[in-house]
Structure 1
Amino acid sequence: MGIVVFTMKASVIEMFLVLLVTGIHSDKEMTRKIKRPKFTVPQINCDVKAGKIINPEFIVKCPAGCQDPKYHVYGTGVYASYSSVCGAAVHSGVLSNSGGKILVRKVAGQSGYKGSFSNGVQSLSLPRWRESFVVSENKPPKGVIYPSTLTYSSSKSPAARADLWSTTPYTSSRKSPSAKPGLQRQDSSSAAFQEPMGADVSLGFVPKEELSTQSLEPVSQGDPNCKVDLSFVIDGSSSIGKRRFRIQKQFLADIAQALDVGPAGPLMGVVQYGDNPATQFNLKTHMNSRDLKTAIEKISQRGGLSNVGRAISFVTKTFFSKANGNRGGAPNVAVVLVDGWPTDKVEEASRLARESGINIFFITVEAAVENEKRHVVEPNFANKAVCRTNSFYSINVQNWFSLHKTVQPLVKRVCDMDRLACSKTCLNSADIGFVIDGSSSVGTSNFRTVLQFVANLSKEFEISETDTRIGAVQYTYEQRLEFGFDKYSTKPDILNAIKRVGYWSGGTSTGAAIHYALEQLFKKSKPNKRKLMILITDGRSYDDVRIPAMAAHQKGVITYAIGVAWAAQDELEVIATHPARDHSFFVDEFDNLYKSVPRIIRNICAEFNAQPRN
């Protein structure tokens, strides 16, 4: 009996094992038969904005060529959803201009988006926007399934639809009944995307206010990192022809697009030249890039000769005025385009422009070949005209069809505030004449201290032929010109020249010294330069200082009187420009002269900044 029971138990166990093995094998067969659906990455165009795509997180494939400035990007790192998805990916460095796959994730709207130039793309600034997104490499988190088909805010396909409106998501509690599946996470953080309030995506219905691009176009105040007053001086001469003139206008439109134009950023006007120049529109006519592009399209060619020099003079005298929108605190930049070569001289006109604080850039297209050079009025005209002959301010383009390649390099240069060296400031716009007391009471040791004081002041200025220039006169009973304004044009040369000045010794005729400085030094000052006289003395003058000082003031020479030790305070106040408290200084001993340097510089700059820049 026991044997029978044992045999039955063995049979049951054997049967159970057979069923178990069969089941496991069957499960494996079913697993083999169930194929996971293949994930297809959706392809989008360069112009697709993130706000058009309903999905809160998705992977897409971008085509090549999305670096083009016509695909707007707003922000840096975090981008407003009004931006081109692929353009933002190139700007962030996640994608090259050859295209590829990227991961996009929607995030909350920002209170401000900062524009910047990166990886060949100029992104624009924006005060605020309702939704943002970030881009990263195509590395999806584990366990996340992304849609093979994207859900758009328009019923039309992204490739075929007209880009009539921008829709960005609001919070809503209802879902579209026929909305396509979005992101499906397999974790507890899964959340359904909520469609724009008041829009039925399934029917392709969008409220009337959403149909207006203008009403939803972000109104930028401009990129504050590129606050420049910009004049484009374009070639409208007959020699350029209609086709190349159209290319030039497209170039201007691309520049306007790449710049984030606005009252807090760059402003742009256009002057066209032929026989005579004319302003197409000034700095305050158009306050955003969109309006600028429309205005550029309407420009018609003037014809005539290529009188570039006349055009530059026109820009210097009239364009950068307060009435035309010049903001004073913003650097003045003039970009001159030339087809071939000018038919007049540009060097003198450009020099006056530079001395007025205008940064001159030249873009020359299709320069003269060897057998045409005899027609060029002024050889090497571009180097004579630009702000600096260091290749930063001049661009040569072989032909008009290559002009578009200079858009981004030029935008980067005109926005480089540190290298716009010709902008007029308190430190780069003066002719400064030092009038140094070399009388016997000073002594050799103290005279060296005075020269160190002169060097310390000079170091504070930007010295060059077109920036601040330095001259020096030493006086006793007699006067001696140590060096004039045109003698040295670099800071090291000026400092070495100051160091070499020899102590003279003698009496103290300060009045005669001021008269001498006016005749021998300041008569050779450039017309557009501020004239500053800095006189240093240690005693009362043997002659009258009133008449010479009055002559200096009447001739526009701003006079600073620095007294040491036994200098007469009342005399210093007569010499100094009114108000005397800002232009006269006194120290009790020579070793304390260095302490007055910061205050003198501060007063020079305060006075300069208080004056209109017209």
Structure 2
Amino acid sequence: MAGKELIKTYFHVVPCTILYCKVDIAFLMDGSWSIGKRRFKIQKDFLVEVSQVINVGVAGAMMGIIQYGDDPVTEFSLKQFSSSKDLKPAISKIVQKGGLSNVGKALSYINKHFFSDANGNRGGAPNVAVVLVDGWPTDKVEEASRLARESGINIFFVTIEGPDENEKQNVVETNFVDKAVCRTNGYFSLPITSWFALRNAVQPLVKSVCDTDRLVCSKTCLNANDIAFVIDGSSSVGTGNFRTVLQFVANVTQEFEISDTDTRVGIVQYTYEQRLEFAFGQHNNKADLLNAIKRINYWSGGTSTGAAITFAADQLFSKSKPNKRKIMIVITDGRSYDDVRAPALAVHRKGVIAYSIGIAWAAQDELEYIATDPDRDHSFFVDEFDNLYNYVPKIIHNICNEFNSQPRN
């Protein structure tokens, strides 16, 4: 809190300096014909002022600019200029490209090409993209934005003179800002009523992009998954123990950030047959999801774990989003009547990280076949249902530990 207060004070004392801001930031400037030459010049003046306030340098913020119209073009990369002083003439020389206002295409471009080591992406600094839009995009932004967010890019939108009531019918994708930005809480979006008021947005925008505690859009072990629970509902489990299993599932789920753009959860219950209790994305907030888990009814029957794994692959993971980590948690209390090896191998090959949790009469060899290697990190055994709760922190720890050990932007 003290750091934030310090920044506020600094703005009062020295209006053109931010104290410390270590981010890698890409500005996507609107070069479409609809903006006109005069407003394009206002946009450049705005970016010059931002570059001076943000205090560009290798110890702080690094700033690059992409201009978009029909197609995006990098005006300069993150590593091209290492001081605010050098940026000023570079921005002033940018020439308007013209064309449509293809924001979705520009977001795909930065996700695939801009934030790379070759372009000066530092890895230790948050990636931020600030999109300036005159009016509205002429293409769809939702999918491109989602993929960019899931790659760890914190997306902000500055919309100037958005569509009025008569123009809204021309908008390609309604609520495009909410679909694109990191959080729909107003923090990541800045609507400006007039181009002549754009200058007033300099300090609020810089303050937002520099508050690295709030830049939580990028992937973490808690917001980057599609998790499938595959739950044994066979006769040997019993109603009381089945409720204990559901409580365990709820306790694990509770630890994740749940939404359509964060972690999603799906559940399959199985006996000889399989039942999809709910799919990924069916319950997109934590309260709804926990209630849905609570409402699952115990089935009773035989135990065909192999068929259940195949069913989960077909019904859940086939609909998994790109860039999501696919995690399967199989919970069983007995030996399967069918083979688990081939189905488990098939999901492993599709990139699913599989955990197996055996209770009471579960077969150790089957648990090891189901689990991703190394078994010690992905396979667990408890002698009684009531001891399941002990493994909640261990599973969360292992999921996060594995996630954090993977190389990422």
TM-score by length of 1: 0.62
Which residue of structure 1 lines up, in the alignment, with residue 156 of structure 2? 361
Q: Give the drift of 1:260.
A: 4.2
| Matching of residue 486 in structure 1 with residue 377 in structure 2 | no
Which residue of structure 1 lines up, in the alignment, with residue 405 of structure 2? 610
Q: Distance in 2 between matches of 1:544 and 1:530?
A: 26
Q: Distance in 1 between matches of 2:219 and 2:231?
A: 27
Corresponding residue pairs, total: 405
Q: Distance in 1 between matches of 2:166 and 2:44?
A: 29
Contact 2:11 2:18 in 1 (8 A): no
Distance 1:472 1:418, change over 3 A: farther
Q: Distance in 1 between matches of 2:108 and 2:161?
A: 24
TM-score by length of 2: 0.91
Q: Distance in 2 between matches of 1:342 and 1:462?
A: 29
| Matching of residue 407 in structure 1 with residue 202 in structure 2 | yes
Q: Give the drift of 1:521.
A: 1.3
Q: Give the drift of 1:505.
A: 1.8
| SS in structure 1 of the partner of residue 268 of structure 2 | strand
Which residue of structure 2 lines up, in the alignment, with residue 569 of structure 1? 364
Aligned mate of 1:305, from 93, 96, 100: 100
Q: Distance in 1 between matches of 2:335 and 2:57?
A: 56
Q: Give the drift of 1:442.
A: 1.9
Aligned mate of 2:7, from 109, 116, 128: 116
Q: Give the drift of 1:336.
A: 0.7
Which residue of structure 1 lines up, in the alignment, with residue 301 of structure 2? 506
Distance 1:439 1:326, change over 3 A: farther
Aligned alpha-carbon RMSD (Å): 2.4
Q: Distance in 1 between matches of 2:120 and 2:369?
A: 39
Contact 2:150 2:218 in 1 (8 A): no
Q: Distance in 1 between matches of 2:352 and 2:119?
A: 29
Q: Give the drift of 1:414.
A: 1.8
Distance 1:471 1:327, change over 3 A: farther
Which residue of structure 2 lines up, in the alignment, with residue 524 of structure 1? 319
Which residue of structure 1 lines up, in the alignment, with residue 134 of structure 2? 339
Unaligned segments of structure 2, at least 5 residues:
none
| SS in structure 2 of the partner of residue 462 of structure 1 | coil
Contact 1:231 1:334 in 2 (8 A): yes
Which residue of structure 1 lines up, in the alignment, with residue 379 of structure 2? 584
Distance 1:330 1:472, change over 3 A: farther
| Matching of residue 237 in structure 1 with residue 32 in structure 2 | yes
Which residue of structure 1 lines up, in the alignment, with residue 90 of structure 2? 295
- 1:527 alignment partner AA: P
1:257-307 residue CA offsets vs partner (Å, 9 max, x unmatched): 222444454332211111210112223333443333343233222222222
Q: Distance in 2 between matches of 1:571 and 1:290?
A: 64
1:191-225 residue CA offsets vs partner (Å, 9 max, x unmatched): xxxxxxxxxxxxxxxxxxxxxxxxxxxxxxxx3xx
| SS in structure 1 of the partner of residue 129 of structure 2 | strand
Q: Give the drift of 1:379.
A: 3.9
Q: Distance in 1 between matches of 2:196 and 2:8?
A: 24
Q: Distance in 2 between matches of 1:307 and 1:475?
A: 46
Which residue of structure 2 lines up, in the alignment, with residue 350 of structure 1? 145
| SS in structure 2 of the partner of residue 505 of structure 1 | coil
1:363-406 residue CA offsets vs partner (Å, 9 max, x unmatched): 11122344444543334433333233332222221222211111
Q: Give the drift of 1:520.
A: 1.0
1:224-270 residue CA offsets vs partner (Å, 9 max, x unmatched): xx443322110112232333222212211222222244445433221
1:308-341 residue CA offsets vs partner (Å, 9 max, x unmatched): 2211221222222343333445433211101122
Distance 1:445 1:329, change over 3 A: farther
Aligned mate of 2:222, from 427, 446, 465: 427
Aligned mate of 1:254, from 45, 49, 52: 49
1:50-102 residue CA offsets vs partner (Å, 9 max, x unmatched): xxxxxxxxxxxxxxxxxxxxxxxxxx99xxxxxxxxxxxxx99xxxxxxxxxx
Distance 1:367 1:299, change over 3 A: same
Q: Distance in 1 between matches of 2:194 and 2:237?
A: 65
Distance 1:119 1:326, change over 3 A: closer
Q: Give the drift of 1:473.
A: 0.6
Contact 1:422 1:467 in 2 (8 A): no
Distance 1:380 1:486, change over 3 A: closer
Percentage of matched positions with identical amino acids: 70
Aligned mate of 2:393, from 587, 591, 598: 598
Q: Give the drift of 1:527.
A: 1.8
Aligned mate of 2:181, from 386, 392, 399: 386
Distance 1:449 1:376, change over 3 A: closer
- 1:231 alignment partner AA: A
Q: Distance in 2 between matches of 1:570 and 1:372?
A: 64
Unaligned segments of structure 1, at least 5 residues:
1-75, 78-90, 93-114, 126-222
Distance 1:229 1:516, change over 3 A: same
Aligned mate of 1:495, from 277, 283, 290: 290
Higher relative contact order (CA 8 A, sep 6+): 2
Q: Distance in 1 between matches of 2:41 and 2:385?
A: 66
Deviates more, 1:300-309 or 1:231-240: 300-309
Q: Distance in 1 between matches of 2:363 and 2:322?
A: 33
Q: Give the drift of 1:417.
A: 3.5
| SS in structure 1 of the partner of residue 66 of structure 2 | strand
Contact 2:272 2:303 in 1 (8 A): yes
Which residue of structure 2 lines up, in the alignment, with residue 85 of structure 1? none
Higher Rg: 1
